[in-house]
Structure 1
């Protein structure tokens, strides 16, 4: 008899944790980071995966074999799972997880229509000053999260799919307001994640986005002895991003001209001017091949005073 539950998790650490706790059912690990690089609405299509591989190859030097072994094989395994009575999604509060989550729900809407879908989402936990990821929950907490999982209605699925479509569109402007129009949504962390996403467009003040400014700020404040220590500090202090070390190392490479040294870590005079908004670094970073979802990153500016995006017309 086949297991009646299919668990789709946000990563290997969650899958391993749940299996170690003897959760019943089958497991699929979603190994993607759709918050980075170009995306399209047709999750799982041949063109979708080609676009994603092109991004990983150019940005992270990922080989075709690695992409197939880690991502495509697991996706193909997902496609074979059609007999379970319930799909349980395990995701966290941060931007990284929330974008992956709505993409998978969009896939479910298309390929598993009518099936029971439930959501376990970690974040705010009683007694903790900070939000917690799934693997940070103790045995009792994660079992309680599972017990309290929320069954998604068809309206919930349609809503998540709609936000995914907007994320993949060629304009981010409708995301500025539409993600806040559903206060009864079970996706309690999605609004904050989309707010952070919009701040990833270059700031009008210095040309850096929220992530790049965060990197310079932590480097300046913590004065780490090495690049590894800087990345450790970034991972420890991030709140809504949910990025991994690989992402931060890649971003540091693009910002290296704003540093004089990484051993120890020191900002250059130019880097300090950019951090203090005395110099705009937009033109130095601008790249027509950099995307956030369906949008060219450098086609919009984030206006910090109004929390609005401005389209660059020229």
Structure 2
């Protein structure tokens, strides 16, 4: 593990864990959640970061100073690191990580052409059915993952960049076609992440997407006594998305009319009717400012039985 390695990690927990285990090299933590809010293909440009700040400010009340300190300073540090012989990417299996990963690879394709780039991606370990985050791996497992890291070919880099371009387009329909037909074995978890992404468009059945319907089902099935317990259960159950507590808190605010109370957690009459597909909530929840990648969330509908997306035409 030479000092000429630059590690780009998926978050502070991974960075701190690798440093604790005495991994040598330099570290950059990619502090973004590109699975939420509008994205554009030009990762790192002034327009890209302005767009991202606008999203964080409006959706999460993030101040400009916090955005600069937490995200932009780390990105600028990445821009200044050009001397390492190898760049190792550390990302996980979930949607949150996979979208960040392909965005980083798109940036590397443009600004670090010819560099030796490799990938460590956690998920399944051995025959276990459980999925593991990087900090959940023990010391031997994390070293084994590093030793067996995958060197990305130019074709791999081109593929990841292509999926990123499609993710940022104003329509998800081509992404829907491509991810099934043009697969890449290097990125073990990317197809399942894209599938989870497509299910985030509102369903034809009741106007809520897969995440939102799962929130309602969990409320009914688990009967959480408090909001914190509710969010904890969602974090445990919905690991394919990789969402954090702030994202679920935001979701619950959006779905407020569907709940009678959060302490204890109970659906309202409207919420029960929506969950049972007796009422379509699309008209009440629809807006023109919600984006998934480059496309407007409410301009497309997901049909669960056929597992296909349809564009809404005016």
C-alpha contact 2:159 2:184 (8 A) present in aligned 1: no
Q: Which residue of 2 aligns with 1:288?
A: 288
Secondary structure of the residue aligned to 1:160 is helix
Structure 1 residue 199: deviation in Å?
Answer: 0.4
Report the equivalent of 1:30: 30
Contact 2:196 2:241 (C-alpha < 8 Å) held by counterparts: yes
8 Å CA contact retained: 1:156, 1:185: no
Give the match for residue 86 of structure 1: 86
Aligned equivalents of 1:282, 1:34: Cα separation in 2: 24
Cα distance, 1:183 vs. partner?
3.9
Taking the aligned partners of 1:75 and 1:181, their CA distance within structure 2 comes to 34
- Any gaps of 5 or more consecutive residues in structure 2? none
State the Cα distance separating 1:129 from its structure 2 match. 2.8
Provide the C-alpha distance between the structure 1 equivalents of 2:132 and 2:86, rounded to a whole number of angstroms.
25
Question: What is the CA deviation profile of residues 141-189 of structure 1, one whole-angstrom value per residue up to 9, with x for unaligned ones?
Answer: 1110000000000010000000000000001001112113344430010
Aligned counterparts, 1:86-125, within 5 A: 86-125=86-125
Equivalent-residue separation in structure 1 for 2:10 and 2:184 (angstroms): 24
Question: 1:74 — aligned with what?
Answer: 74
Secondary structure class of the residue paired with 1:177: helix
Partner of 1:240 in structure 2?
A: 240
Cα distance in 2 for partners of 1:184, 1:196 equals 17
The 3-state SS of whatever aligns with 2:173 is coil
Aligned positions, number = 313
Secondary structure, counterpart of 1:200 in structure 2: coil
Aligned counterparts of 1:184 and 1:259: Cα–Cα separation in 2: 42
Q: How far, CA to CA, are the matches of 1:284 and 1:242 in structure 2?
A: 27
- Equivalences for residues 165-180 of structure 1 within 5 A: 165-180=165-180
Q: Distance in 1 between matches of 2:124 and 2:140?
A: 15
Match of 2:9 in 1: 9
Aligned residue for 1:158, secondary structure, equals helix
Long gaps (5+) in structure 1: none
Distance 2:152 2:192 in 1: 20
Which runs of 4 or more aligned residues in structure 1 lie more than 4 Å from their structure 2 counterparts after TM superposition? Answer: none
Paired with 2:250 and 2:216, the residues of 1 have a C-alpha distance of 14
TM-score normalized by the length of structure 1: 0.98
CA distance in 1, matches of 2:129, 2:290: 36
User: What are the superposed Cα offsets for residues 12-35 of structure 1, whole Å, 9 maximum, x if unpaired?
Assistant: 000000000000100000000000
Counterpart contact for 2:4–2:86, Cα < 8 Å: yes
1:20-66 CA distance string (max 9 Å, x none): 00001000000000000000000000000000000000000000010
Q: Which residue of 2 aligns with 1:302?
A: 302
CA distance in 2, matches of 1:145, 1:131: 14
The aligned counterpart of 1:149 is 149
The alpha carbon displacement at 1:3 in A equals 2.6
Instruction: Report the RMSD for the aligned CA atoms in angstroms.
Output: 1.0
CA distance in 1, matches of 2:183, 2:285: 37
Given that 2:34 and 2:293 are in contact with CA atoms closer than 8 Å, whether structure 1 keeps it comes out as yes
Report the secondary structure of 2:181's partner residue.
Answer: coil
Is contact 2:94-2:189 (8 Å) kept?
Answer: yes
* Distance in 1 separating the partners of 2:16 and 2:162: 31
Matched position secondary structure for 1:49: helix
How far did 1:238 drift?
1.1
2:261 is matched with: 261
1:58 and 2:53 correspond: no
| Alignment-derived partner of residue 272 in structure 2 | 272
